[in-house]
Homo-oligomer: A and B are copies of this chain.
Amino acid sequence: EGIHFDLSYTPLIHLGYRCVIAAISDIYAMNGRPEQILISLALSSKITVEFMEEVYQGVMVACKNYGLDLIGGDTTSSRSGLVINVTAIGKAAKDKIVYRSGAKVNDLLVVTGDLGGSYMGLQILEREKRVFLEHPEAQPKLAEYDYILKRHLRPEARKDIIPLLDDLKILPTSMMDISDGLSSECLHIARQSDVGIVVYEEKIPLDPQTYKVGRSLGIDGTTAALNGGEDYELLFTVPQAEHSKLENHPDFTIIGYVQDKSDGNIMISKGGNTYPLKAQGWKHF
């Protein structure tokens, strides 16, 4: 609480859902399938039974949607604030587990879905919170932001991608999920694979709503994609030979490639300039 979520605008049922998604997303990102979860809670005295029942409703819906068994956990009290910890257990075929460390020079860099939406949804929620604090009688205007709000409040993990890669006979050389922003994840793969990463700004997939809201708020969509997070899309590298399978596939976008470590981690802007990729912290809620 106060780090990954703000209870003032996070519906409790979504909070439970989102905590499960964040945990299982890491297992999909290893080309595995989550099977069980354990939940531990530290509760402050202000937390009621009804409150926790709502959180658990969200957890149970996530378990249903993703075929998970809730097999245990722990509960304790907390001096201040709510803490939720989810442990996910899953399985992967031994010869198909994908790590962050296998990217090779000349591999293609690929991302699923679109990026930056969760961050942009958060900006809207924070703006509405400020408006509400100043004008408690105001009605929130959220209808036109449905996609990005859902991206933030109730994200999904890309469980569909794992069988899809299998059908396409693609085994990524490295993979991870985008929970801290594209820049940060690229740098993780680069460091652990001992390579450099090139990202083309113009290739980064943004939803039209993300782009539009970004313009109205004065936030660059690229910045949201690079430094936002919690999109829970998958980022992976594959050999060049897989290009034709991915090129026009609606679920995938090729956004760059892997280069020699000595050439660094860079983004090539729409204008053709080169910028270093940097991981920038951001507030998660």
Contacts and interface: CB of A to CB of B under 8 A. Distances in A.
A38 B85 CA distance: 11
A81 B89 CA distance: 28
Contact of A87 (B1, B40, B42, B76): B40
Contacts of A80: 79-81
A96 interface: no
Interface string A1-39: 111100000000000000000000000000000000010
A83 interface: yes
Contacts of A87: 38, 40, 87
Contacts of A4: 76
A160 interface: no
A74 interface: yes
Classify chain A's interface size: 10 to 19
B79 A2 contact: yes
A78 B76 contact: no
A2 B38 CA distance: 23
Contacts of A1: 79
Nearest to A78: B3
Interface string A168-208: 00000000000000000000000000000000000000000
A79 B77 CA distance: 15
A38 B76 CA distance: 18
B85 A78 contact: no
A77 B83 CA distance: 11
B2 A85 contact: no
Contacts of A78: 3, 81, 83
A115 B74 CA distance: 23
Contact of A85 (B3, B40, B77, B89): B40
Nearest to A74: B85
A170 to B, nearest CB: 26
Q: Counting chain B CB atoms within 10 Å of each CB, which of A42, A79, A85, A89 scores highest?
A: A85
Interface of A: 1-4, 38, 40, 42, 74, 76-81, 83, 85, 87, 89
Given A78-B81, A78-B83, A80-B80, 15 more contacts: A1-B79, A2-B79, A3-B78, A3-B79, A4-B76, A38-B87, A40-B40, A40-B87, A42-B83, A74-B85, A79-B80, A83-B83, A83-B85, A85-B85, A89-B89
11 contacts: A1-B79, A3-B42, A3-B76, A3-B77, A40-B87, A42-B83, A78-B81, A80-B80, A83-B83, A83-B85, A87-B87
